[in-house]
């Protein structure tokens, strides 16, 4: 494991006094919280994995690279402070060059999955940006150059991202403000509908609204990446048609593999590819399961990868593991995100306490690249799916 050379040991809010300036929480371990995943690589394979991670630009299209409370009953009070701790140490050991960092939107995100509020978002964003400003390992990515420079400098580029545009309400100029504050990717809608369009949980599917079309036009003019991961099927198709730029699905899998609403049907995946976009394969607990691997793990996630590469072409697939430091299964129950309700047929599956192999941002790409090496993917193919495809599409969008 190589540590990024610019990381010097900084921990979130080190410039303040914990317990005096901000509330202290007992946090989850950011290292070895669960047993590592044993892939059974030979020494030569392990060296190849390490070489690839050292040399290549590695980009996660979707993660929550923060450390959460050890006891998830503390989750809501913790998130309400707005001071989410970035997992700097773990990230420095991850081999990643850039991460799409999805803000938690402060208090708003715990009141309702669709109720993200502008003021809460400003608190979350401001505190996060201040923390970044006090250290020099993480840099905020405003452009593709920031990512390539981070690669050269041994830094991590953080792409500030939002799961949904709910906080803009019906004011299109707020998209400019978010861009100004550094947001470079925004989801159209979370699972419950907003002013822009229908979310994937809705019983009816109204697609993209008239206001949603204006928002897409503004995002195109600004060069902000658009994500449809939590959008309804019709909203996905409408957004892809309306957008002049490629559209991303930053974290999802294939409904052709697992019949859940949280997964995308073939027509949406194909439309994304035709737009020039990229899909990031999702790995949050109990999402990318497969008939062959009903206990969620690296193996079931890679079943989605193989299917999507076959359907969309390898140049349109990447990874958005959607992981964090802490008990993600516990977080799903605490937030009541309705993962189960998101499922349509909900075939028999095995519940897991964590996703073996893709449990946290530190281990994800070691295991993904390890699996790809083990399955005889070429260096060119691996380079494309761990970062090259995302870099290409960001060059077009940004």
- Residues near Zn ion (CB under 5 A) are 163
Task: Report in angstroms how near the CB of residue 320 gets to Zn ion at its nearest.
Answer: 9
Q: Token pair of 361, please?
A: 């941002």
Residue 200 vs 382, nearer CB to Zn ion = 200
Phi and psi, residue 183, nearest 5°: -70, 125
Q: DSSP state, 285?
A: T
Task: Report whether 176 contacts 222 (CB < 8 A).
Answer: yes
Residues in CB range of 179: below 8 A, 6 or more apart = 222, 224
Residue 196 vs 384, nearer CB to Zn ion = 196
Residue 140 vs 337, nearer CB to Zn ion = 337
In whole angstroms, give the CA distance from residue 159 to residue 102.
8
* DSSP-assigned states of every residue in 344-385: SS----B--SS-BT-SSTTTHHHHHHHHHHHTT--HHHHHII
Residue 49 vs 167, nearer CB to Zn ion = 167
Residue 209 vs 323, nearer CB to Zn ion = 323
Task: Report whether 361 contacts 65 (CB < 8 A).
Answer: yes
- Residue 123: name the closest of 75, 66, 82, 174 by CA: 82
Residue 48 vs 201, nearer CB to Zn ion = 201
Task: Report in angstroms how near the CB of residue 136 gets to Zn ion at its nearest.
Answer: 29
In whole angstroms, give the CA distance from residue 193 to residue 208.
10
Residue 163 vs 233, nearer CB to Zn ion = 163
Task: Report in angstroms how near the CB of residue 337 gets to Zn ion at its nearest.
Answer: 9
Task: Report in angstroms how near the CB of residue 113 gets to Zn ion at its nearest.
Answer: 10
Task: Report whether 284 contacts 328 (CB < 8 A).
Answer: yes
In whole angstroms, give the CA distance from residue 266 to residue 182.
33
Task: Report in angstroms how near the CB of residue 219 gets to Zn ion at its nearest.
Answer: 18
Task: Report in angstroms how near the CB of residue 143 gets to Zn ion at its nearest.
Answer: 25
Residue 104 vs 240, nearer CB to Zn ion = 104
Residue nearest to Zn ion (CB): 163
Phi and psi, residue 60, nearest 5°: -95, 125
Task: Report in angstroms how near the CB of residue 99 gets to Zn ion at its nearest.
Answer: 14
Task: Report in angstroms how near the CB of residue 364 gets to Zn ion at its nearest.
Answer: 16
- Residue 184: name the closest of 226, 145, 214, 217 by CA: 226
């Amino acid at each position: 494991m190589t540590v990024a050379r610019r990381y010097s040991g900084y921990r979130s809010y080190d410039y303040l006094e914990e317990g005096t300036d901000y509330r202290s929480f007992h946090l989850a371990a950011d290292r070895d919280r669960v047993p590592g995943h044993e892939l059974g690589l030979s020494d030569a394979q392990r060296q190849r994995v390490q070489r690839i991670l050292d040399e290549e630009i590695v980009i996660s299209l979707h993660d929550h690279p923060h450390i959460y409370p050890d006891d998830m009953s503390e989750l809501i009070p913790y998130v309400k402070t707005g001071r989410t701790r970035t997992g700097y140490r773990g990230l420095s050991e991850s081999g990643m060059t850039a991460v799409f960092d999805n803000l938690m939107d402060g208090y708003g995100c715990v009141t309702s999955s669709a109720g993200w509020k502008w003021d809460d978002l400003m608190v979350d964003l401001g505190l996060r940006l201040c923390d970044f400003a006090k250290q020099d390992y993480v840099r905020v990515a405003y452009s593709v150059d920031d990512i390539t420079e981070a690669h050269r400098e041994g830094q991590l580029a953080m792409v500030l991202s939002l799961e949904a545009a709910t906080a803009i309400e019906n004011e299109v100029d707020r998209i400019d403000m978010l861009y100004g504050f550094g947001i470079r990717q925004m989801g159209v809608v979370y699972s419950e509908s907003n002013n822009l369009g229908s979310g994937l949980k809705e019983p009816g599917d109204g697609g993209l609204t008239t206001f949603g079309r204006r928002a897409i036009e503004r995002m195109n003019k600004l060069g902000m990446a658009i994500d449809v991961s939590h959008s309804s099927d019709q909203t996905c198709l409408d957004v892809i048609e309306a957008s002049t730029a490629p559209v991303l699905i930053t974290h999802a899998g294939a409904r052709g593999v697992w019949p859940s609403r949280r997964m995308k049907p073939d027509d949406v995946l194909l439309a994304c590819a035709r737009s020039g976009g990229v899909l990031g394969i999702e790995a949050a607990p109990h999402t990318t399961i497969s008939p062959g691997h009903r206990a969620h793990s690296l193996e079931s996630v890679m079943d989605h990868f193989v299917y999507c590469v076959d359907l969309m072409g390898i140049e349109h697939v990447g990874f958005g593991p959607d992981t964090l430091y802490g008990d993600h299964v516990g977080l799903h129950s605490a937030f009541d995100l309705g993962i189960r309700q998101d499922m349509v047929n909900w075939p028999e599956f095995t519940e897991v306490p964590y996703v073996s192999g893709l449990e946290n941002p530190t281990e994800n790409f070691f295991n993904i690249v390890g699996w790809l090496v083990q399955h005889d993917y070429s260096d060119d193919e691996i380079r494309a799916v761990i970062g090259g495809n995302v870099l290409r599409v960001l060059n077009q969008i940004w």
